[in-house]
Structure 1
Amino acid sequence: MIDERRLREAGAVLAAESARFASMGWMRGTSGNLSLTLDRDPLRLAVTASGFDKSELAPEHVVLVDGKGDLLPGDTRGLIPSAEAGLHARIAAVTGAGAAVHVHAMAAVEAGFHWPEGVAISDMEMLKGIGHSAHGERVVIPVVQNSQDMVELGDRFEAVYRRPAGGIAEVPAIIVASHGMYAWGEDVAAARRHTEITEWLLRFTVRTRAR
């Protein structure tokens, strides 16, 4: 059974985040998507619906999906989950994330093009914002090849996801080649912060790369 009040509350949160990222040019038109994890057992996520301009997203433009990213029965509004809902569900299941963000930031696409094996970053103060030291660490943002099959793309994500002691990933973000980036966190604020900081780090790395 769908808790419509709870879903609408999640929609209001995602609509605000969507407007924020659209204003940065990272969610142009209907591109990009966001999710909130509402339940763990079984896994349930509020995900932005397909086909809506992200600068004008409304609280009702979200749907409830299961652990595979499929629309739960009972929603009679005719909305369709984002085509990438399945990857959001996999990220939530594997990382324990409470929220995930997918944007088409140009810096991520450029970085994935230049460093298809992963984008190495070190000695940057902003690394603190994604859980690392400003100096003395070499952090790698993984890059995976794109796929329209979310199971296949999820497998690629899981293959490069780091699980050191403590269960924290090396970085809470991944680049999908020729597409964009995903970032996640324990809640919406953390997912937003990780998205913005990772984009900044990628933009700097692209701009200063050896010609």
Structure 2
Amino acid sequence: MDSATAAAEISPAARLAAAEGLVAIGAQMHAAGWSRATSSNYSVRLSADPLRLLVTASGKHKDRLTTDDFVLIDESGGAVEPDALKSSAETMLHVVLARDAGAGAIVHTHSVWGTLLSDIHGPEGVVTLAGYEMLKALPGIKTHDTAVDIAIFPNTQDIDALAAELSDRLKAGDDAVRYGFLINKHGLYTWADQLDSARACVEALEFLFECEGRRLKL
């Protein structure tokens, strides 16, 4: 199947709806202070087989995104269409999450609290969130009387190596990458089956990171 045929299989209406949703996410994440400058990246899975993801193009201010600022990519992380914009440098992380975690939407943020907590707890490789009511906003959690571990990966610039490690941990059923993960001094990745659910996960985890950060400060 050539790239033109593969791209044509994606409904223009579905692609536009995904792009509009991602534009809205970008505006919200920027307004919240979680996607400043040109940081962060987001994606929506448009097809599982063959894998097709609509991913933010590199170097875009997230409060100024338009529906043209996204790239359709395949399972290799490459652009499906000719003359496409360059996708995020972290595209392969999106591919791994869509493929191995079954993510329908992925949101990556660079918040102050997530960045600081990833540094403070970096040597432990995990930050634990326990006892907060907001934990119930995460899929499958029914009570505040629980604890969730969020993995922290080193801030390597070798995205292929990071993607391979993430894939291994997802396939092994590692609970610390069930809801999201942090990259040390970098930011949060989280995901869900659809964009609205991924937004809820981001909002919940960023709230919890701020609670933890303020608790340590106090």
Q: TM-score, normalised by structure 1?
A: 0.89
Unaligned runs of 5+ in 2: none
Give the aligned partner of residue 132 of structure 1. Answer: 141
Q: How does 1:147-186 map to 2 (within 5 A)?
A: 147-161=156-170, 163=173, 171-186=178-193
> How big is the shift at 1:197?
0.3
* AA matched with 2:24: A
Query: 1:69, 1:87 within 8 Å by CA — same for their partners in 2?
Result: no
- CA–CA distance in 1 between the matches of 2:92 and 2:190? 15
C-alpha change, 1:204 and 1:128, in structure 2 (3 Å) is same
Give the aligned partner of residue 118 of structure 1. Answer: 126
1:138-180 CA-partner distances (Å, limit 9, x unpaired): 221111112222221112323444728xxx8764111011110
Q: How does 1:1-211 map to 2 (within 5 A)?
A: 1=4, 2-3=7-8, 5=12, 6-72=14-80, 74-76=81-83, 78-116=84-122, 117-130=125-138, 131-161=140-170, 163=173, 171-209=178-216
> How big is the shift at 1:137?
2.3
Unaligned runs of 5+ in 1: none
Q: TM-score, normalised by structure 2?
A: 0.87
Query: 2:134, 2:144 within 8 Å by CA — same for their partners in 1?
Result: no
> How big is the shift at 1:104?
0.3
SS at match of 2:63: helix
Query: 1:36, 1:188 within 8 Å by CA — same for their partners in 2?
Result: yes
* AA matched with 2:151: P
SS at match of 2:82: coil
1:25-62 CA-partner distances (Å, limit 9, x unpaired): 11112111100001111111000111211100000111
SS at match of 1:18: helix
Instruction: State the identity as a percent.
Output: 32
Query: 1:70, 1:86 within 8 Å by CA — same for their partners in 2?
Result: no
> How big is the shift at 1:8?
3.1
Aligned length: 206
Instruction: Indicate the RMSD between aligned Cα atoms, in angstroms.
Output: 2.0
* AA matched with 1:138: A
Higher helix share: 2
- CA–CA distance in 2 between the matches of 1:163 and 1:62? 31
SS at match of 1:56: coil
> Which stretch of the first structure deviates more once superposed, 151-160 or 31-40?
151-160
